[in-house]
Structure 1
């Protein structure tokens, strides 16, 4: 488990979350027997790679005061557990089940950002967290729309 003390650490954790999810989805796409599931897994893997890069940009270019804000107390009481994504058998899931798992995992990240934003005393920290929350929310909506379009094929 990564030691999370500051908002920068939260961003680093989120970047790792998206990166590991991308790798897992890619691996599972190669082994799923359902063609639509393989397509959605490959699409989701690419999407997670993009999110990895976007969060990395926030981590590199964010306001230093916001990034260095302590959030240890929250994390101490509500530990962030690194998801072991490949324990979720994406290989055996259909497209709807895959989307349920992905949306649930993203919702957990969104809830973390929401909570930290609600507790932020510094406006730059709150704005950064609200931007990240908004990004994740929009990406989940986009994923759902893309998944629905794929289901219509």
Structure 2
């Protein structure tokens, strides 16, 4: 479909986080070493939090109702959707760094999508909304990298 409301994209992104959480949880149970399992469990928890944050925007009474009902024209279905399908089915059981690289790729994808929506926004409120989501994802990427490095150093 070519035309979408912002709330459809937010709902899609929340589902993206839920699917990532499920995938990380599945990988954590696949016989990896303790550090990798802890890293994957941590990522699954972060993804569930991000999903909840996005779903909060969709609650009735959100301060963002006007932006969420804004329509936008995008000839593509939401960009980068195949990223989840490209995640490895198994993770290197010895490397927290490979887990981190996988997580950063998934997050950069969403951050790029939010930045793209901000650049093509039809109004200031929509632009500010997507700039905020992009900045939040940038902060999340830094948090994940920092926390995963701590796990690696532990």
Normalised-by-shorter TM-score class: 0.7 to 0.9
Aligned length: 151
CA displacement 1:60-83 (0-9 Å, x = unmatched): 32522211222332535x744244
Specify the alignment match of 1:42 in structure 2: 41
Instruction: Tell me how large the CA RMSD over aligned residues is.
Output: 2.2
SS for the counterpart of 1:103 is helix
| 1:32 counterpart = 2:20 | no
Specify the alignment match of 2:129 in structure 1: 128
Aligned 8 A contact 1:18 1:51 in 2: yes
- Higher share of residues assigned helix: 1
TM-score normalized with structure 2 length: 0.87
SS for the counterpart of 2:51 is helix
Specify the alignment match of 2:84 in structure 1: 84
SS for the counterpart of 2:36 is helix
Structure 1 unaligned regions, length at least 5: none
Partners of 2:139 and 2:120 in 1: CA distance: 22
- 1:56-67 map, 5 Å: 56-60=55-59, 61-67=62-68
Structure 1 segments, 4+ long, off by >3 Å, are 82-87, 90-93
Partners of 2:20 and 2:101 in 1: CA distance: 14
Partners of 1:92 and 1:4 in 2: CA distance: 40
Specify the alignment match of 2:76 in structure 1: 75
Aligned 8 A contact 2:91 2:98 in 1: no
